Amino acid sequence: MSTCALYSRIGSVLLAGVLMGQVATAQQVSGSISGVVQDAQGAVVPNARVVLINQTQGTTAMQVITGLEGSFVFTPLLPSTYTVSVEAAGFKKYSKTDIVLFANDRMGLPPITLDVGSASESVTI
C-alpha cells in the first residue's frame, strides 16, 4: 500500500469519527409536558396558574399561565418525575403527582378538570 493510500485511509477513518461525534452531540434529551385546563362542563379555563415541580430535585421547575384556549406547555424538561398543580379563581386547587417523563418524551396530559370551590380546597390525583 502506498503512503498516499495509507494517509487517505487514515483520514477517512478520522473524518468518520468526527462526523459520528457530531451526530451524537446533536441528540436531544429534553422533553415536554403539555395540557389543557377546563371546568366540569368542559369549558376551557384561561389565566389558570400551572406549576411544575421536579419531585426528584424538590424544586419548582416552571410556572406558566394558561392562554385563552386554556392550554399550557412546559419545555425543555429533563427526564424526571414531576408534579403538576393548577390554581384558578373560583376553583379547587388541582394536583397530580408521579408524572414520569423520559428523554425526548412529548407528553400530552389528559384534560385537567377543575372543580368549583375555593382555592383552599384541593383535589389530589
pLDDT (tens digit, 9 = 90+) per residue, 4-57? 554 556 555 555 555 555 445 556 789 999 999 999 999 999 999 999 999 988
pLDDT (tens digit, 9 = 90+) per residue, 70-123? 999 999 999 999 999 999 999 999 999 999 999 999 999 999 999 998 766 666
Tell me, what CATH number does 91's domain have? 2.60.40.1120
| φ, ψ (nearest 5 deg) of residue 45 | -115, 100
* Per-residue pLDDT at 59: 75
Domain-embedded: residue 67: yes
Cβ(3)–Cβ(78) below 8 Å: no
* Per-residue pLDDT at 6: 46
Domain-embedded: residue 13: no
Domain-embedded: residue 90: yes
Domain-embedded: residue 49: yes
Domain, as residue range, for 67: 31-124
Number of domains in the chain: 1
